[in-house]
Structure 1
């Protein structure tokens, strides 16, 4: 029994040592908060950027592809540059969660300061003040109307997700292929079913539905 415990402690120590090693190499941007460095897929610690397909709405009501815009901005800032990443954890998708520096600058902090990502307070408060400053300045994504990336992931159709209790707007596609959203209380809300396999989905806000290409039901 003592021998087994000793082996387990040794294994934990070796895993911790491996995790502590830095990852150095040329950085390739995957999306707003995910990069490849030296062949390792890295999820940046402490931030959460819009998903690549995530829409938003301008204050004037114009639909905008925020997720794609963020990815392109991060690419322009960091792609192809030398990076050093310090591993902190491994997420459920097998990605290394790490804090990365490029040219002595904390990449996560830069992205939050520029309004290209949110501070992911669920996991870290490191960038809390950076986000608050970006919000005050309406910088980047803070100048748009959009759901948080976490909420968007909950409602994005992946052939498996159930609607969040707070996301009750029904995005229906009629026989002519027209995308129409129904609010609770409208005439056809109760009889409207959602078929994910047909591309139908649930929304958390009218702004999200409009930005995704759905129009409101007339009654």
Structure 2
């Protein structure tokens, strides 16, 4: 079974021979595990398309078929093209890294790579479309829009929240308006990279925001108290003991960040008493 073709995703393709084969383009550096994408799990489903209409939906440009060698990353594949093996960098998008020498593995990088690999490896027909400007970057990689059985991989990645719009260098901007629209939809729905505030930014990815959010969630109590439930015992003890969703025993003093939200499973009169019972102080 293969991914169904979507009319709005079949709109665009390739202007062969456009641009210099050796023109350089400036590059902007991008700077845990996360939930896997739902798209691709069912190979009979294709990504929904935004109801917005774009002028580029009406284009009818011939695409160039290529043979896949392998998926390199979420935004890069290796193909056989014109008798040679070439790396293809996806135009106008950026996905988190999986093997960068300095940045290492970034959150949602493995998901983006797996997503792209699933699309291109399962496709009967893999095609490239160049834009009207240079078709190579300064590293010699081809710059193209990539289609797997007629579905543009860039659009699918943006729809799933596994890529951000990036590297916008005119005149290679044919689909930038549509890409921005798809990105905004994913952002509004907090999909993928947009599920953690400030992780994906205009100049790259910032895992420290991802780590801060994950740490805060780990410290948040598993149960929340309502004012009616939250009654201090008659003995005056005010330290709340709670067991969170991960099974961690954490105590909260009245100064703790989550004190008011905590539904206590135990009360303690001192921090020493809480620690003796196996509870620890929160990390934040």
Instruction: Compute the TM-score of the two structures, normalised by the length of structure 2.
Output: 0.42
Residue 40 of structure 1 is aligned with which of 83, 86, 95? 86
| Number of equivalent positions | 140
Higher relative strand content: 1
Deviation at 1:28, TM superposition (A): 2.4
3-state SS of paired residue (2:130): strand
Using a 3 Å threshold, how does the CA distance of structure 1 residues 24 and 133 change in structure 2: closer, same or farther? same
Structure 1 runs (4+) deviating above 3 angstroms are 15-21, 147-152, 208-211
Match runs of 1:1-219 below 5 Å: 16=18, 22-26=64-68, 28-38=70-80, 39-52=85-98, 53-55=104-106, 65-81=107-123, 82-88=125-131, 89-120=135-166, 122-123=168-169, 124=173, 125-126=176-177, 127-145=179-197, 146-148=199-201, 150-152=203-205, 206-207=208-209
Q: List runs of 5+ in structure 2 lacking aligned partners.
A: 1-16, 22-61, 99-103, 214-284
Using a 3 Å threshold, how does the CA distance of structure 1 residues 134 and 26 change in structure 2: closer, same or farther? same
Deviation at 1:24, TM superposition (A): 1.7
Structure (1 or 2) with the larger CA radius of gyration: 2
Q: List runs of 5+ in structure 1 lacking aligned partners.
A: 1-14, 56-64, 153-203, 212-219
Instruction: Compute the TM-score of the two structures, normalised by the length of structure 1.
Output: 0.53
Pairwise CA RMSD: 3.4
Deviation at 1:148, TM superposition (A): 3.7
3-state SS of paired residue (2:96): coil
